[in-house]
Amino acid sequence: MNNLFYLFLNAQQVGILFLNKKYQGSYVLTEQVQVNEYRVNISEKEGFLVELDDYYNEELRFRSSYINLPVNVKSPEDVGEKEIEFVKRAINGLLDAMFQKEIFPDPDNDYKDLIDITSVIKYLIVNEVVANHEPGNPKSTFMYKDKGNAKIYMGPLWDFDWAFGYNFGGDTYFVRNNQRMLYYQGAPVINLDAKGEGEDFFFRFFDDPVFRSEYKRIWNEMKPSISNMDVFVNEMGAILINSVAEDKEEWNNHTISYTEQITTMSKWIKERIAFLDTQINSKF
């Protein structure tokens, strides 16, 4: 696709599934998120991979300081509570630096020494462009850290079923979210449900003028490739065209045609990018 999105996407392949000769739909086959040389390449014992998710259902989990982030420990695996103390220290150390004092960033404990802000910015840009609500709850929001004094990084990306104008309250897809920012309070902010701990976390970064300036710089650097997302939509539309007839025969529950859906999605993306460009360059 482009450099921004490639940073976070797993290797993937689209497939059309038939089971006993019966059409079951189109699927994206992708690697799962886990610590591995060819996935999240960090130390399996001295690094960590966590998922912020309010399902909060991993065997090893804890709530962070200050804003009660639901931290699910994905790696290291097969260890006990004692062995994940270093994970708690790293996460809570970051939250201390971000929330312990009203002044931000704390001149005596700068959060930027603990987390890679470029990874945060690119992670947020991806989610803003497609209006993905998952990180705000939070759900399916991954962070990792390698051994030693390495910083925390955001990613990989995962789960976008709450994106692209997610269908709240029976509204049509692609209607909502076009003219609102999800993770910056200084612009029109969407508020369709109660604010989650993820929003508390991500909003805080924007209180730092250095972060806002860097966000603007990276946005403008990546904008040429982001602006071509509609090309990717049309390319994927062509790849999936073979399943359209099967889909219609099996379910036939679409109110508009496949071509109209692609056109609507392309238009939605272009309008959202234009809105974000105005907001970021005028307010950051």
Mean pLDDT along residues 206-214: 97
> So what's the pLDDT on residue 28?
81
Of residues 268 and 195, more confidence is placed in: 268
User: What is the model's pLDDT at position 1?
Assistant: 42
In this prediction, residue 145 carries a pLDDT of 98
How many structural domains are present in the chain? 1
Q: Token pair for residue 228? A: 């071509």
Class of residue 234 by CB neighbours under 10 A (exposed 0-12, middle 13-18, buried 19+): middle
Residue 11 in 3-state DSSP? coil
* pLDDT tens readout for residues 121-153: 999 999 999 999 899 999 999 999 999 999 999
Residue 142 Cα distances to 18, 72, 75, 236, angstroms: 32, 9, 11, 26
Instruction: Report the predicted TM-score, pTM, of the whole model to 2 decimal places.
Output: 0.90
Res 277 pLDDT > 90? yes
- Each residue of 240-272: pLDDT tens digit? 888 888 888 888 777 778 888 898 888 889 999
- Give the tens place of pLDDT for each residue, 7-32: 445 555 778 889 998 989 888 878 88
Q: Which domain holds residue 203?
A: 3-283
